[in-house]
């Protein structure tokens, strides 16, 4: 999609495009309302401004737009092989051992139980072992710190998705 197409899209079309980048309805509405964008830099700047003005409930809504890695079968599929994921956001993922998959599943469940939202990380270029290390490093945090960490990771994700959108 070109920036011109995004700028001239209907509200519904623009909403559908932005929701693919982030599922916070407040963020999506702000992005749709701020059109037209003069250039990609203006789009990214608006994305960041809209993100920093959100409330906790808006961040949680964005996090809910991600699938939870909650069971070993999901993890096996996700980390099965690099080639199948090359075009996706886990493009650098290597095959993971069964123990790493089990530890990721447990860590994700522990994270959800502790913080009340799923573990959010920008997975691009990260292996399963790296994801596990990040998860374990963040588990000792308090909820406010983790909400901030997750929001920062979500920001990285929508930046990548905006880039892909255009």
Alpha helices in the chain (DSSP H): 3-8, 11-19, 25-33, 40-52, 56-63, 72-78, 98-115, 128-138, 143-165
Angle of CA points 149, 118, 94, to nearest 5° = 85
Contacts 24+ apart (CB under 8 A), 149-153: 150/59, 150/63, 150/117, 150/119, 150/120, 151/51, 151/59, 153/120, 153/121, 153/122
112: Cβ–Cβ under 8 A, 6 or more apart, which residues?
68, 70, 118, 119
Catalytic residue from among 22, 66, 134, 150 = 66
Active site residue 66: yes
Catalytic residues: 66
């Amino acid at each position: 999609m070109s920036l011109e197409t995004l700028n001239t899209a209907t509200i519904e079309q623009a909403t559908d495009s932005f929701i693919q980048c982030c599922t916070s309805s407040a963020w999506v509405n702000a992005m749709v309302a701020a059109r037209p964008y003069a250039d990609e830099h203006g789009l990214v700047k608006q994305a960041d401004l809209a993100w920093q003005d959100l409330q906790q409930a808006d961040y949680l809504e964005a996090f809910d737009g991600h699938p939870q890695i909650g069971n070993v079968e999901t993890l096996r599929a996700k980390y099965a092989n690099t080639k199948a994921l090359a075009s996706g956001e886990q493009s650098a993922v290597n095959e993971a051992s069964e123990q790493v998959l089990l530890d990721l599943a447990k860590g994700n469940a522990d994270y959800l139980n502790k913080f009340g939202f799923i573990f959010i990380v920008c997975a691009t270029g990260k292996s399963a072992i790296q994801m596990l290390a990040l998860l374990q490093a963040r588990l000792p945090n308090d909820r406010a710190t983790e909400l901030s960490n997750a929001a920062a990771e979500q920001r990285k994700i929508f930046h990548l998705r905006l880039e892909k959108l255009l």
